[in-house]
Amino acid sequence: MNKITDQLNRPLRDLRISVIDRCNFRCQYCMPAEIFGPDFAFLPKKELLSYEEIERLAHIFVGLGVEKIRLTGGEPLLRKQLPLLVEKLSKINGLKDIGLTTNGVLLPKYAEELKAAGLKRVNVSLDSLNDELFGEINGRGVKTGPVIEGIQAAQKAGLGVKLNMVVKKGLNDQEIVPMAQFCKDNGLQLRFIEYMDVGSTNGWKMDDVVTKKEIYERLNEHYLLEPVDPDYFGEVAKRYRYKDSNVDVGFITSVSESFCSSCTRSRLSANGQLFTCLFNGNGHDIRDFMRNGVSDSEIEQRITDIWNRRNDRYSDERTEETIANRKKIEMSYIGG
């Protein structure tokens, strides 16, 4: 089947697959303690896509043009035998890249095995280098040490490593320069992420956003930066390189500088719902459709129909009304 494009001529190229809805951290986006406390009911195993189902769907998505898959979810390393899934995916012809989003704590245990299975890179969330603040953000009192040990384990195993830092005004914006220096010193790619209105439980306000322009201006007081051309159509991060090193720093700007026009990403939840936009809470069932005994070609057609009808442009159209009234999926459910 030919590669597919949506109504705005955006190809399907990048697939995020949530393999589990559990997490051992809370995050700034959507894990408030009063909602996602220790008694929160997570999905039963039978509702999760099996590895065999994920592998089957991945083959179909790659046939439709997907070149990159990132495994995500609440914390994907909590899913048993995850390297086995990575190994299955790494054998799919046409798939160029397999990544993993993680809080990093379990990487010392799994990094080498994941690399051997075919994983290319990891994106590690680290919103502060200050132990007290980081413990407040993750809601468990976990200090930065275990995450940094995980980062080092990934580097030692030969995995590419990117750090993701969500910047929220009044919470961790004072950490912008220290985080940049830490990553520059350790040869790590850093992605500053504007605080986004994902989900409906994080109490998001526009006043909490530190924009790319503001972050760049703070960095520019300390470093000389030069822009870097995108590596491919649909690359989300706006990248810059330090003039005195080969390390780059990027910005995810879905609030201040929308990239809807070039979005090539789709998301598959842990229970098999396909989402065509991070900000769209209306998923499309793939799991039950597949479990009804349909053929691969029928699944291809369903995915094609969903993508061809896609017209998501939430970040372009964001208003106070859409923020208040649009149903959105929680990050804990769909993954980063």
pLDDT tens digits for range 74-123:
899 999 999 999 999 999 999 999 999 999 999 999 999 999 999 999 99
**Amino acid letter for position 288:** D
- 260 known member of a binding site: yes
Mean pLDDT across 242-258: 92
pLDDT tens digits for range 174-209:
999 999 999 999 999 999 999 987 655 556 688 899
- 29 known member of a binding site: yes
- Could you tell me the two tokens for 308? 């061809």
Nearest to 14 by CA among 50, 61, 83: 61
- 205 known member of a binding site: no
Strand partners, 72: 18
- 74 known member of a binding site: yes
- 262 known member of a binding site: no
- 30 known member of a binding site: yes
- 200 known member of a binding site: no
Residues 69-96, buried b or exposed e (16+ Cβ, 10 A)? bbbbbbbbbbbeebbebbbbbeebeebe
- 183 known member of a binding site: no
Nearest to 43 by CA among 270, 280, 288: 270
- 70 known member of a binding site: yes
Domains of the chain, CATH where assigned? 14-334 (3.20.20.70)
Q: Which helix (H) or strand (E) holds 308?
A: helix 296-308
pLDDT tens digits for range 42-85:
678 899 999 999 999 999 999 999 999 999 988 999 999 999 99
- 266 known member of a binding site: yes
- 297 known member of a binding site: no
